[in-house]
A and B are shown apart, each in its own frame.
Chain A
Amino acid sequence: MKNKLFFLLLISAVVLSIGSCKKSFFDATTNDGTINDATAYNSKADFDAGVAGAYVNLQSAFETTIRLPGFISNDVSNGEGNAVSFDRLFDNTYFLSDENWRELYKIVNNANIVIGKLEGVEPGILTDVEKNRDMGQVKFLRGFAFLHLTQGFGDIPMPLQGYTTTQNSMSCTPQADVLKQVIADLTDAADKLPEVQEWAGADLGRVGKGSALGYLALANMYSQDWPTAGAASERLLSLTKPKYELKADVRDEFSAKNRNLTSSVFEVQFSPKSADKWVGWGGQAPHNGHTMPTQTAPPGIGDAWVNFGGWGNYIISPAALSSYEPGDDRRKKLIIKYPEAYKGELMTDSFKAKDWPKDVDFLAKRTEFGYSTKYWYGVSRLPAGENIIMMRFAEVLLNYAEIQFNRGQQADAYAQLNKIRIRAKLAPKAVSSDKEVFMTDLMNERRHELMLEPGFWYHLTRTGRAAKFLKDNYNITMLPKWEHLPIPSRERDVNPNLCTNGY
Chain B
Amino acid sequence: MIKIKLNFICSVLMLLFFTFQSSRSMAQEAGIVVAGKIVDEKNQPLSLVSVSEKGSKNTTISGEDGTYKITVRSKDAIIVFSSTGFSTEQSRVGDQREINIQLGQLVQSLDDVVVIGYGTQRARKVTGAMGRIGSREIKQVAVVGLDQALQGRIAGVQVAENSAEPGADVSIRIRGVASITRGSDPLVVVDGIPMSVKLSAINPSDIQSIDVLKDAASAAIYGSRGSAGVVLVTTKRGKTGKLKVNLDAYTAMQTVPKRLSLLNGSQFARVANENLVNGGQTPNPEWLNPEIVTSTDWQDEIFRTAPMSNYNISISGGSEKSRNFLSFGYTGQEGVVSNNASFKRFTGRFNSDYDISSRLKVGVNVNFNTDQKSGIRTQDDNTGAIISILQAQPTNPLYASTDGPIGSHLYGFEGYAFNTRQNLYYAGIGNNPVYVANNHFFSRGRGTQLLANAFGELELIKGLKFKSLIGYTTENGFGVSGNNKVPSPASNGGGGLNDRTNIGSSFSQASQWNWVNTLSYSTEFGKHSISSVIGSDALKFKGSSLNVNAFGAPLNQNSITAATDLSGRPQGNEYIPFSLLSYFARVQYDYDDRLLLSGVFRRDGTSKFGPKQTWGNFPSVSVGWRISKEKFMESVSFVDELKIRASYGAVGNQNIPDLQYLSQYGTAGGNYAYTFNGVLVQGLRPTVLGNDSIHWERNVERNIGLDASFLKGKITLSVDVYRKVLKDLLGDVPVPFYAAPFSGSLIKNAFSMQSSGIELNLGLNQKIGAVNFSVNANFSTLQNKVTALTPGDDKSFVFQNISAISEMKATSRSQVGERFGNFWGFVTDGIIQNADEATKYKAMGFQFAEPGDRKYKDLNNDGKLNDDDRTIIGNGLPGYIYGLNARAEYKGFDISAFFNGQGNVEIANMTSYFTSSVNFRNPGLVNASTNILNAWKGEGTSNEFPRNSSKSIQSNRWFSNTYIEDGSFLRLRNLQIGYTMPVKIMNKIGASAARVYVAGQNLFTITNYSGYDPEVGNSRGTGSGNVGVAGVDYGRYPTARMFTVGLTAQF
Residues of A near any B CB (own CB < 8 A): 4-5, 7-8, 11-12, 14-16, 18-21, 23, 25-29, 31-38, 40, 46, 48-50, 52-56, 58-59, 101-103, 105-106, 108-110, 113, 156-157, 159, 162-165, 167-168, 170, 201-206, 259, 269-273, 275-277, 279, 286, 288, 303, 488, 490-491, 493-495, 498
Q: Given A26-B614, A46-B684, does the pair A16, B6 have CB atoms closer than 8 Å? A: yes
Residue of B whose beta carbon sits closest to that of A51: B683
| Given contact pairs A32-B577, A168-B739, A270-B675, A26 touches B664 in the complex (Cβ within 8 A) | no
Q: Is the CB of A102 within 8 A of B741?
A: yes
Choose, from B36-44, B89-97, B534-542, the stretch at the interface: B534-542
User: Smallest CB-CB separation from A54: which chain B residue?
Assistant: B683
Establish whether residues A55 and B536, one from each chain, have CB atoms under 8 Å apart when the complex forms.
no
Which of A26, A38, A106 has its CB near the most chain B CB atoms (within 10 A)?
Answer: A26
Interchain CA distance A26-B579 in the complex, whole Å: 6
Known: A163-B735, A167-B736. 11 other contacts (CB 8 A): A4-B461, A8-B17, A11-B460, A40-B665, A52-B673, A56-B673, A109-B742, A156-B738, A202-B677, A269-B676, A276-B673
Question: Smallest Cβ distance from B285 to chain A, in angstroms?
Answer: 21
Contacts of B538 in A (CB 8 A): 18, 25
A56/B685 in contact, CB under 8 A: yes
Q: Are A490 and B9 in contact (CB-based, < 8 A)?
A: no
Interface contact B671-A286, CB-CB below 8 Å:
yes
Shortest 10 CB-CB contacts between residues of A and residues of B: A53-B683, A167-B739, A33-B574, A52-B683, A204-B677, A28-B607, A105-B741, A36-B662, A49-B684, A53-B684
- CB nearest to A492 among chain B residues: B736
- Bound-state CA distance A275–B549 (Å) is 12
Q: Which residue of A lies closest to B17 (CB)?
A: A8
- 9 of the cross-chain contacts (CB-CB < 8 Å) are A25-B581, A25-B607, A28-B658, A28-B659, A36-B688, A165-B746, A168-B736, A269-B675, A490-B737
Question: How long is the Cα–Cα vector from A5 to B668 in the complex, in angstroms?
Answer: 58
* Complex CA distance for A206 and B678, rounded to whole angstroms: 11
- Is B525's CB within 8 Å of the partner chain A? no
Interface 1/0s, chain B 75-115, versus A by CB < 8 A? 00000000000000000000000000000000000000000
In angstroms, Cα B673 to Cα A406, docked, is: 42
- The closest CB in chain A to the CB of B737 belongs to A102
Write out the residue numbers on chain B whose beta carbons fall within 8 Å of the beta carbon of A53.
665, 667, 672, 674, 683-685
Task: Known A8-B13, A205-B675, A277-B567; judge A35-B664 contact (CB<8 A).
Answer: yes
**Is there contact, CB below 8 Å, between B460 and A32?**
no
CA distance A84 to B538 in the complex (A): 63
Interfacial residues of chain B within 555-607, with CB under 8 A of chain A in the complex: 567-568, 572-579, 581, 583, 605-607
Task: Collect the chain B residues with CB atoms within 8 Å of residue A162's CB.
Answer: 663, 686
Which residues of B are at the interface with A, using a C-beta cutoff of 8 A?
2, 5-6, 9-10, 13, 17, 460-461, 466, 468, 493, 515, 517-519, 534-536, 538, 540, 544, 567-568, 572-579, 581, 583, 605-608, 611, 614, 658-659, 662-668, 671-690, 734-742, 746
Closest to B743 in A: A163
Q: Which residue of B lies closest to A55 (CB)?
A: B674
Residues of B within 8 A of A26 (CB): 579, 581, 605-607, 611, 614
A144 to B990, CA, bound (A): 88
* B461 nearest in chain A by CB position: A4
A214–B683 Cα distance when bound, in Å, is 26
- Considering the chains assembled together, what is the distance between the CA atoms of A220 and B574 in angstroms? 49
* Known contacts A8-B460, A14-B468, A205-B676; A105/B738 CB under 8 A: yes
Q: How far in angstroms is the closest Cβ of chain A from B963?
A: 26
A494 and B461 contacting across the interface, CB-CB below 8 Å: no
* Set A8, A15, A110, A205: member contacting B677, Cβ < 8 A: A205
- Tell me the smallest distance from the CB of A58 to a CB of chain B, in Å: 8
Complex: how many Å from CA A86 to CA B968?
A: 50
- Verify A23–B611 contact, CB threshold 8 A: yes
Measured CA separation A23–B741 after assembly (Å): 34
CB distance from B193 to the nearest CB of A (A): 16
- Considering the chains assembled together, what is the distance between the CA atoms of A18 and B741 in angstroms? 42
Residue of A5, A37, A201 near B690 (CB, 8 A) is A37
Whether the Cβ atoms of A101 and B737 lie closer than 8 Å is yes
B653 to chain A, nearest CB (A): 18
User: Contact check: which of B607, B677, B680, B690 meets A203 at CB < 8 Å?
Assistant: B677
In the assembled complex, the Cα of A64 lies from the Cα of B902 at a distance in Å of 51
How far is B683's CA from A110's CA once the two chains are assembled, in angstroms?
Answer: 10
- Cα distance A32–B665 in the bound complex, in angstroms: 13
The interface residues of chain B lying within 8 Å CB-to-CB of A167 are 735-736, 738-739
Contact in complex: B460, A15 (CB < 8 Å): no
When distances are taken between beta carbons in the complex, the residues of chain A under 8 Å from B740 are 109, 163
Contacts of B517 in A (CB 8 A): 11, 14-15
- CA A31 – CA B659 in complex, angstroms? 13
Cβ of A271 and Cβ of B607 under 8 Å apart?
no
B739:A11 contact, CB within 8 angstroms: no
Q: How far is the CA of A495 from the CA of B371 in the complex (A)?
A: 52
Bound-complex Cα distance A8 to B614 (A): 29
Q: Is the CB–CB distance between B739 and A19 below 8 Å?
A: no
Smallest CB gap from B685: residue in A:
A53
Cα(A490)–Cα(B734), bound, Å:
9
Q: State whether A288 touches B680 (Cβ < 8 A).
A: yes
Query: In the bound complex, do residue A18 and residue B536 qualify as a contact, i.e. CB atoms below 8 Å apart?
Result: yes
Residue numbers in A under 8 Å from B676 (CB-CB): 52, 202-206, 269
- Contact check, A36 vs B659: say whether CB atoms are below 8 A apart: yes
CB contacts (< 8 Å) of B680 on chain A: these are 271, 276, 288
Please indicate the chain A residues that have their CB under 8 angstroms from the CB of B515 in the complex: 18
Tell me the smallest distance from the CB of A16 to a CB of chain B, in Å: 6
Residues of chain B within 8 A of A279, CB atoms compared:
671
Contacting pair A106 B663 (CB below 8 A): no
Q: Are B667 and A36 in contact (CB under 8 A)?
A: no
CA of A202 to CA of B678 in the docked complex: distance in angstroms?
8
Q: Which residues of B contact A276 (CB under 8 A)?
A: 673, 675, 680
- Report whether B737 and A105 are in contact in the complex, using a CB–CB cutoff of 8 Å: yes
A15 touches B536 (CB 8 A): yes
What residues on B are CB-neighbors of A159 within 8 Å? 738-739
The residue from B6, B666, B677 contacting A19, defined by CB atoms under 8 A apart: B6
Point out the residues of chain A lying under 8 angstroms from B663, CB to CB. Answer: 36-37, 162-163
| The residue from B2, B17, B659 contacting A34, defined by CB atoms under 8 A apart | B659
Give, as a whole number of angstroms, the nearest-CB distance from A266 to chain B: 14
Residue ID in chain A nearest B535 by CB atoms: A15
**A37 to B17, alpha carbons, bound, how many Å?**
48
Query: Which residues on A sit within 8 Å (CB–CB) of B17?
Result: 5, 8
A109 touches which one: B493, B534, B687, B741 (CB < 8 A)? B741
Q: Could you tell me if B607 and A12 are in contact, using CB atoms closer than 8 angstroms?
A: no
Interface pair B677/A32, CB less than 8 Å apart: no
What distance in Å separates the Cβ of A338 from its nearest Cβ neighbour in chain B?
24
Report chain B residues within 8 Å CB of A101: 737-738
Q: Please tell me if the beta carbons of B739 and A34 are within 8 angstroms of each other in the complex.
A: no
* Contacts A15-B9, A25-B581 given; does A271 touch B741 at CB 8 Å: no
- Identify B577's interface contact among A28, A168, A272, CB under 8 A: A28
Residues of B close to A31: CB separation below 8 A: 574, 577
A105 to B575, CA, bound (A): 31
Look across to chain B and name the residue whose beta carbon is closest to the beta carbon of A280. Answer: B671
* B683–A49 touching, CB < 8 Å: yes
Pair B735/A56 contact, Cβ less than 8 Å: no
| Interchain nearest-CB distance for B1014 vs A (Å) | 35
B674 in contact with A56 (CB, 8 Å): yes
A residues less than 8 Å from B574 (CB atoms): 31-33
Q: A26-B579, A36-B665 are in contact. Are A269 and B460 (CB under 8 A)?
A: no
Taking the nearest CB of chain A, how far is it from the CB of B696, in angstroms? 14
Residues in chain A near residue B518, CB distance under 8 A = 15
Distance A16 CA – B3 CA, assembled complex (angstroms) = 11
Assess A52 versus B674: contact at CB under 8 Å? Given A25-B581, A277-B567, A303-B493.
yes
Residue of A nearest to B740 (CB): A163
Residues of A within 8 A of B605 (CB): 26
Contacting residue for B568 out of A5, A106, A269, A277, CB 8 A: A277
Nearest opposing residue in chain B for A387, CB measure: B675
Q: What CA separation (Å) do A216 and B460 show in the bound complex?
A: 82
